[in-house]
Amino acid sequence: MGKYFGTDGFRGEANVDLTVEHAYKVGRFLGHYYGKDHKAKIVIGKDTRRSSYMFEYSLVAGLTASGADAYLLHVTTTPSVSYVVRTEGFDCGIMISASHNPYYDNGIKIINRNGHKLEAEVEELIEAYIDSKEDTIPLATRENIGKTVDYAMGRNRYIGYLISLATRSFEGKRIGLDLANGSATSIAKGVFDALGAKTYVINGEPDGTNINRNCGSTHIEGLQKFVVENNLDVGFAYDGDADRCLAVDEKGNVITGDHILYMCSVYMKERNDLANNTVVTTIMSNMGLYKALDKKGISYEKTKVGDKYVYENMLANGHSIGGEQSGHIIFSKHATTGDGILTSLKIMEVMLESKAKLSELCKDLHIFPQVLENVRVKDKKAATGDPAVCELIERLGKELGNDGRIIVRESGTEPVIRVMAEAKTEELCRNVVEQIINMIKKQGHAK
């Protein structure tokens, strides 16, 4: 990770860690970098945060000042930006979003012409330009100044693409959608309605400050209650920019990314569609997933946390499905990034083609109790490298043995340490996590 760019773009509190000046300089750099031998075309999407408009205008100012043309998708999802970039000949794409973070945070995600997250070496060049005292990039003049284009049609093409992927009509299915008051509000309901579903929406009225607030994939308890009370067949919950999806079965049980990887990979294997008979996961996937995949004769690989690393593995090895427990699921046949709405369509495909309820598709997957807590720290590397903290983690890990595990890692997007424990009982998990967090606090690392 660089000074500004983490595992998922440049993210921080709006006008504190990420300012309009930063956004302007990102735009200036990208317009110049991609426009050296032609007039650059760059497409921009944003989520529903109040600050997203501010950053959109700052990016546009920087891009057009460097001579690039900026195409605006307006409120849309991160995967839609990726789709438009790779299918419509743009030099790169920008998504303004802080994903699942609270409304006062925001971020700039840059997507290259292939629909992948931007290369680290280009991010380093952007960081160097942001910190440079002299502006070495020339300003465009006269007819070379860039223009801004309303490009809502790009988002509409993406909606049409999603609809085309469904294998059956959803007619007769009662489906709940938690739109997290975010990007999915511009797309999801229209897709499900077009496919014939009876669609019920919650958290679909963004006001600029309610994105992710007690809703969406990070607060799924509301959707659980909603599905049961309304006798729905299934519910889907997205995050702020809709690149992740979690589900709720007809009984109100949460279906995590691990459940989704399991049911979809089993379904794909039965249809000879599981490339290399392999699923790509991250180190955060539950031990229960691996045991269930072993029983089905399905192989798996593990990467660092981040759908960026999952996709790099999939691309390098030709795998067809991968993802994270948090709900970033990638189907490489259809997308180059996690796509929450696409994931929900694939879940519907498995349900309809298998003629099974969602709870039935997951009955052979037994999840180990897992507790994950975050602790805000002054310095992430100092906290994880503290000898007393490391010694405690090692001792507790030995005590768990083969019946559990501990993962302590730095967040790539926030000033926090994530402490996770898996074990036979939730009580044991919680005890382990509390001991580690207490040690981090005792050593003076907590904010």
Answer whether 243's CB lies under 8 Å from 252's CB. no
Average pLDDT of the residues of the chain: 95
Catalytic residue among 80, 99, 217, 344: 99
Query: Phi, psi (5° rounding) for residue 137?
Result: -95, 125
What would the mean pLDDT of 31-41 be, rounded to a whole number?
97
What would the mean pLDDT of 1-16 be, rounded to a whole number?
87
105 annotated ligand binder = no
Q: What is the CATH number of domain 166-361?
A: 3.40.120.10
Which pLDDT value is given to residue 2?
Answer: 72
Residue 16 has pLDDT above 90, yes or no: yes
377, β-bridge pairs: 446
Pairwise CA distance, residues 386 & 374, whole Å: 17
Q: What is the CATH number of domain 370-442?
A: 3.30.310.50
Which pLDDT value is given to residue 8?
Answer: 81
Nearest to 337 by CA among 358, 315, 353: 315
Q: How confident is the model at residue 412 (pLDDT cuts 50, 70, 90)?
A: confident
Model confidence pLDDT, tens digit, residues 128-171: 999 999 999 999 999 999 999 999 999 999 999 999 999 999 99
The yes or no reply on domain 5-153 and CATH 3.40.50.300 is: no
Pairwise CA distance, residues 113 & 41, whole Å: 10
Model confidence pLDDT, tens digit, residues 232-290: 999 999 999 999 999 999 999 999 999 999 999 999 999 999 999 999 999 989 989 99
311 token code pair: 């996709």
Q: Is the dihedral of CA 242, 45, 117, 304 positive or negative?
A: negative
- Pick the range with the lowest mean pLDDT from 338-352, 400-414, 415-429: 400-414
Q: CATH 3.30.310.50 spans which residues of the chain?
A: 370-442
Which pLDDT value is given to residue 426?
Answer: 92
Pairwise CA distance, residues 237 & 203, whole Å: 10
Pairwise CA distance, residues 289 & 258, whole Å: 6
Pairwise CA distance, residues 14 & 187, whole Å: 25
99 annotated ligand binder = yes
Q: How confident is the model at residue 1 (pLDDT cuts 50, 70, 90)?
A: low
Which pLDDT value is given to residue 447?
Answer: 87
386 annotated ligand binder = no
Say whether 2 sits in a helix, a strand or coil. Answer: coil
Which pLDDT value is given to residue 104?
Answer: 97
Q: Which 3-state string (H, E, C) describes 272-304?
A: CCCHHHEEEEECCCCHHHHHHHHHCCCEEEEEC
Please give the C-alpha separations between residue 163 and each of 143, 194, 209, 289, 294, in angstroms, as whole numbers.
Answer: 40, 7, 30, 30, 34
Nearest to 281 by CA among 238, 243, 314: 314
Model confidence pLDDT, tens digit, residues 84-121: 999 999 999 999 999 999 999 999 999 999 999 899 99
Nearest to 174 by CA among 151, 199, 137, 142: 199
Q: CATH 3.40.120.10 spans which residues of the chain?
A: 5-153, 166-361
Pairwise CA distance, residues 164 & 160, whole Å: 6
Active-site annotation holds for 332: no
Which pLDDT value is given to residue 115?
Answer: 93
What would the mean pLDDT of 347-354 be, rounded to a whole number?
98
243 annotated ligand binder = yes
Nearest to 363 by CA among 287, 221, 255: 255
For the stretch 341-372, what's the b/e string if a residue is b when 16 or more beta carbons lie within 10 angstroms of its beta carbon? bbbbbbbbbbbeeeeeebeebbeebebbbbbe
* DSSP classification of residue 128: H
83 token code pair: 């789709």
Which pLDDT value is given to residue 302?
Answer: 96
What would the mean pLDDT of 7-11 be, rounded to a whole number?
86
Q: In percent, how much of the chain has pLDDT > 70?
A: 100
